[in-house]
Structure 1
């Protein structure tokens, strides 16, 4: 039986640490009875690791493939380049789901349930980790609003009311749909709050060691070469401060 679970292991680029990782994997094989396929495994190195050390560590691990898996848990493994293009897959995923929903067979109440329980849930995981570009959120919002107003599923329909008004609470005359930009900010603020409130978590310890070792995540300090994940999280500082 083949187990296709994906796992990531991080270690320093030293012979000793690679040998420890290899020992752990061998113990797992003996304990579980499952054998790891190193031919289908791959290894990645930082850009500062020289070619000779890379070849030595590849020999120790028995892994010859260079490169990652492309995505991990549905999120792109590499975020280099234009973010609009990188996160375009979220729009494609939502569009493919929306096109398969039975527009003609659903009432407005049914559409409301589909949008609130399914459509806005599609990008939730990626939005809890990264700030989606406004170009992407606009396209996502357009796909959702077209689904709401369309009567046949083939056209965008006539938009009688601005989508921002439909995102207001029902007490205020709206329908309570989520504004994706605000929802994105709320999810990132939740991550920032975890850094403040759960100090002993691995998540907090890693970010503290990298970005705010002698300060607080709410302090407007400048970090050297920050990741897009960190820049996304601190973009919610103003909301958490409020």
Structure 2
């Protein structure tokens, strides 16, 4: 490596804002997201903010930070919960170790305002929706470079919906398959001439 002048990639390095390698310690690989959120919240903590100001900052900035990474990878659930815990503390005005009462459960705050919530994002579910969007893009654009690369590597002899998850698959591919599972919960065939469907397997 030294003779060629090539820099060796080690764990948790980033390229274009994403982890270069995602190994078994996935939480450590994506911990930079939590650190970014924490820095933002720490910067606002000492300022006098109204609840409306807190709402805008949470929705427009804090919950937007993980979006890029979540559009490519499935983020560990434990990390999602830790990020949501920091957001909850900021929303209820907790500073440092001084605890504040949380008057509503987080599940209630993630409901729309029409249902009595605040419209905050449930981070894990938002992650699933972004990955489902990637899976839909592969499904509907067979001529795209993304589809061609994944097909050549992971499902050369079948369709995307029939592709299997293998132990040798990258975390990016496994994340897309997770998004496909979200699609499968609601996907159905619109019957045309019937040639492309399986009577016994397809919904």
Give the shorter-chain TM-score range: 0.7 to 0.9
Q: Is contact 2:138–2:146 with CA below 8 Å preserved after alignment?
A: yes
Q: Is contact 1:195–1:204 with CA below 8 Å preserved after alignment?
A: yes
Q: How far 1:104 sits from its partner (Å)?
A: 4.1
Long gaps (5+) in structure 2: 187-203
- Where do residues 91-170 of structure 1 align in structure 2 (5 Å cutoff)? 91-102=34-45, 104-150=47-93, 152=95, 155-170=98-113
Q: Is contact 1:131–1:184 with CA below 8 Å preserved after alignment?
A: yes
- RMSD between aligned residues: 2.0
Correspondence for 1:236: 179
The whole-number CA distance in structure 2 between the counterparts of 1:222 and 1:149 is: 42
Correspondence for 1:211: 154
Q: Is contact 2:45–2:90 with CA below 8 Å preserved after alignment?
A: no
Q: Which has the larger radius of gyration?
A: 1
* Partner SS, residue 110 of structure 1: helix
Query: Is 1:83–2:26 an aligned residue pair?
Result: yes
The whole-number CA distance in structure 2 between the counterparts of 1:84 and 1:224 is: 19
Long gaps (5+) in structure 1: 1-42, 44-54
* Partner SS, residue 80 of structure 1: coil
* Partner SS, residue 221 of structure 1: coil
Q: How far 1:154 sits from its partner (Å)?
A: 6.3
The whole-number CA distance in structure 2 between the counterparts of 1:136 and 1:151 is: 20
* Partner SS, residue 161 of structure 2: coil
The C-alpha deviation readout for 1:88-117, integer Å capped at 9, x for no partner, is 111111101110015542211111111111
Q: How far 1:224 sits from its partner (Å)?
A: 5.4
Q: Is contact 2:135–2:179 with CA below 8 Å preserved after alignment?
A: yes
Identify the range of structure 1 (154-163 vs 88-97) with the bigger mean alpha-carbon deviation.
154-163
The whole-number CA distance in structure 1 between the counterparts of 2:56 and 2:157 is: 46
The whole-number CA distance in structure 1 between the counterparts of 2:116 and 2:75 is: 28
The whole-number CA distance in structure 2 between the counterparts of 1:155 and 1:216 is: 55
Q: 1:105 to 1:154 in 2, by over 3 A?
A: farther
The C-alpha deviation readout for 1:174-219, integer Å capped at 9, x for no partner, is 1110000100000000110110112222111101111112222222
TM-score for both structures, normalised by structure 2 = 0.82
Higher relative contact order (CA 8 A, sep 6+): 2
Q: 1:156 to 1:228 in 2, by over 3 A?
A: farther
Q: Is contact 1:150–1:158 with CA below 8 Å preserved after alignment?
A: no
Query: Is 1:65–2:14 an aligned residue pair?
Result: no
The C-alpha deviation readout for 1:58-89, integer Å capped at 9, x for no partner, is 6xxxx323413821111110112311121111
TM-score for both structures, normalised by structure 1 = 0.70
